[in-house]
Copies of this chain bind each other. A is one copy, B any other.
Amino acid sequence: MCGIAKGAGMIAPRMRLATMLSFIVTDAAIAQGTLRKALADAVARSFNAITVDGCMSTNDTVVALANGLAANKTIVAGSRDYGIFLKVLREVCVALARMIVRDAEGATKFIAINVRRAVSDNEAEALAFAVANSALFKCAMFGSDPNWGRIAAALGAVGARLDWQKMTIALNGVFVFRRGRPVVFKKRGMLRGRDIDVTIDLAQGRGGKRVWTSDLSYGYVRINAAYN
């Protein structure tokens, strides 16, 4: 299996049908409907879990092609082979989606946002994207500023019923907010690297979502203000 993708800006894909482009090819024998089902699953946790600037494009596309040259027994949904195929397809899609974020316009940071123990997966997704698309959060990341108040504000603005007395927020594994209280931590240098992990544990339920995003930098503004 092999995949290629093109991204950079105007990246907040919501693939329901199909300026992000991605093509995945495999020599596996697999029926069209089964491949479509596998692709929908893989896209949900990869391309549809990234945002650069919250601006959805009109023509985001992921195409998967299978020519059957591997001459395997045709993969059917629910089989052991389907499980293996889906695992590989997910890996390819996640790898491409992450590469798009790393290559984002002006990006200096690669940020993973994990929302855990939400009431539902849908609420976890709304909360994760609210943080990922917050201009203030993205600018703080550009400045390597562990400003958890902006994370909390973005979560609060969603309008979900959150229990601040239970919630914890960690940046690169360091608790910065724990069960209703700020934590004293060493700020200097903690976000200096390119990769940043934001983990928000709501302690409310069994829903979860991980999304990937980039920071908002001078470079993003330059590229998009000087388009002509």
A residues near B (Cβ < 8 Å) are: 9-10, 12, 53-58, 133-136, 139-140, 142-143, 145, 147, 150, 153-154, 156-157, 187, 216-218, 220-228
Residue of B nearest to A142 (CB): B225
CB distance from A188 to the nearest CB of B (A): 10
- The copy count of this chain in the complex is 2
Contact partners of A153 in chain B: CB under 8 A: 10, 55-58
Show 20 A/B contacts (Cβ-Cβ < 8 Å), sorted by A. Answer: A10-B153, A55-B134, A55-B135, A55-B136, A55-B150, A139-B221, A139-B223, A140-B225, A143-B226, A143-B227, A145-B225, A145-B226, A147-B227, A147-B228, A216-B221, A216-B225, A217-B221, A218-B218, A220-B221, A221-B221
| B224/A143 in contact, CB under 8 A | yes
Interface of A is mostly: loop
Contact partners of A228 in chain B: CB under 8 A: 143, 145, 147, 187
CB distance from A187 to the nearest CB of B (A): 7
CB distance from A217 to the nearest CB of B (A): 7
Docked CA distance A136–B54 (Å): 9
Docked CA distance A150–B225 (Å): 12
Docked CA distance A10–B154 (Å): 10
| A139/B224 in contact, CB under 8 A | yes
Contact partners of A55 in chain B: CB under 8 A: 134-136, 150, 153-154, 157
Q: Which of B12, B218, B223 contacts A221 (CB 8 A)?
A: B218
